Structure 1
């Protein structure tokens, strides 16, 4: 295993902690962790794979915290878990065969819709109104779990935001929606990480220190979200989705 310079190690630890803190609450931690890995000197493909190592550690930690606090709808989330896993595995396999850049304009549009809807729906997500699923809603959330999982494996930016939004549409409050979203994101991260490992695209020298920092960040972030509730989660959700929109527009401008 290669040796990291002390300043690079500290940089990855700090970036990993902050990324996981944000990711455990509303998703979007890749806005921090991916640029950090690129700045540390990893090529893009290895940075993607290494980021999935940290993302898996982060989502696992926050999922455990949300489960322990009772903020995951267990029966529903665990039923959707394999759909997210299989979708992500297929998406990760697809990205090895096809370029994913054509998705950027569509992702910008979807993130804009999600953000505007959340801003103008003033009381949305403050209180839980979830009372179970009709057959139509059951089919809809199953399709969403598979499609968003596929998207995470194929492209990725905004996955946490899309998952959280899907659970908000079902009537969950922001904290419970975040908990359900983290468990499904854990499923998609496992499948995607396995694919990157198979292709030798995970750098453990960079990834393990960052993953350990992300475990700590996810622990603190998820507990903070559970304690503060919608008062914290909603504004952070809007801020992160706005940053994601800006990042995707910037990438399109440079393309």
Structure 2
């Protein structure tokens, strides 16, 4: 325990803490925490599966703290989110199971295909106004039930690898006519479900490095709350430009991973 404490308080620990803060801010605002977190951890020589496990723990715990705030402030109805969280959790643990049986090359290839598909969806949706600053529209119960498969498949992707998974969730809620602020808030519930279920699988699989996980998670908790404070100030016109750019950057990141891992 003493060695772990020294590791957390070292220069490397402070760097990991800073990475966690920055990744969480970007994750809450734009759903692209993996754009900072994954390449940063890979850059310091952490294996891909251990990196994913740390990412799931950090995002899961930071999401839980923001979920508590949102529920206590009654900004999001927990009852509405429970079915979505349940399916996201099932997807997360399924994705983690698949990831431990797939190579890094295969994981990157799947991530690339998913991100390119969603990039095309965002480009097409921008023409009809994907990002709305209007009030949220309540969906009929039948329609809500019919869309539970989307959180499940996003959860699989998130649990297995996950660059841009929060952005996929944000896009999902935007397509359901929620405002960007509410979409970002509801995404925290989804990320908590898929990330924590995936992390539990990785934990019992024995690939969690606590020396890395704790400082990154501490930074992520702080960064997620900072991000939620900034989100309401983002303008719809900015987001229509920024979201496709972020998707494109994530695609470039994954393509580079594919080239270097092949």
Contact 1:108 1:248 in 2 (8 A): no
Matched, 1:180 2:186: yes
Structure 1 unaligned residues grouped into runs of 5+: none
Matched, 1:103 2:110: yes
Q: Which residue of 1 aligns with 2:215?
A: 209
1:228–1:124 Cα change, 3 Å: closer
Q: Which residue of 1 aligns with 2:93?
A: 89
Instruction: Specify which of 51, 57, 63 is matched with residue 53 of structure 1.
Output: 57
Matched, 1:26 2:33: no
Structure 2 unaligned residues grouped into runs of 5+: none
Q: Counterparts of 1:234 and 1:58 in 2: how far apart (Å)?
A: 26
Q: Counterparts of 1:232 and 1:66 in 2: how far apart (Å)?
A: 25
1:103–1:131 Cα change, 3 Å: same
Q: Deviation of residue 253 (structure 1)?
A: 3.9
Q: Deviation of residue 155 (structure 1)?
A: 2.7
1:71–1:234 Cα change, 3 Å: farther
Q: Deviation of residue 74 (structure 1)?
A: 3.2
1:129–1:221 Cα change, 3 Å: closer
Q: Counterparts of 1:133 and 1:167 in 2: how far apart (Å)?
A: 14
Alignment RMSD (CA, Å): 2.4
Instruction: Specify which of 192, 210, 222 is matched with residue 228 of structure 2.
Output: 222
Runs of 4+ in 1 over 4 A off after TM superposition: 227-236
Q: Which residue of 2 aligns with 1:39?
A: 43
Deviations 1:1-60 (A, max 9, x none): 444383312211111100011112232101111222223332222222122221112222
Instruction: Specify which of 77, 84, 94 is matched with residue 80 of structure 1.
Output: 84
Q: Which residue of 1 aligns with 2:16?
A: 12
1:189–1:105 Cα change, 3 Å: closer
Q: Counterparts of 1:75 and 1:237 in 2: how far apart (Å)?
A: 29
Q: Deviation of residue 134 (structure 1)?
A: 5.1
Q: Deviation of residue 242 (structure 1)?
A: 2.5
Deviations 1:58-80 (A, max 9, x none): 22233234334544243321221
Q: Counterparts of 1:69 and 1:230 in 2: how far apart (Å)?
A: 24
Aligned length: 254
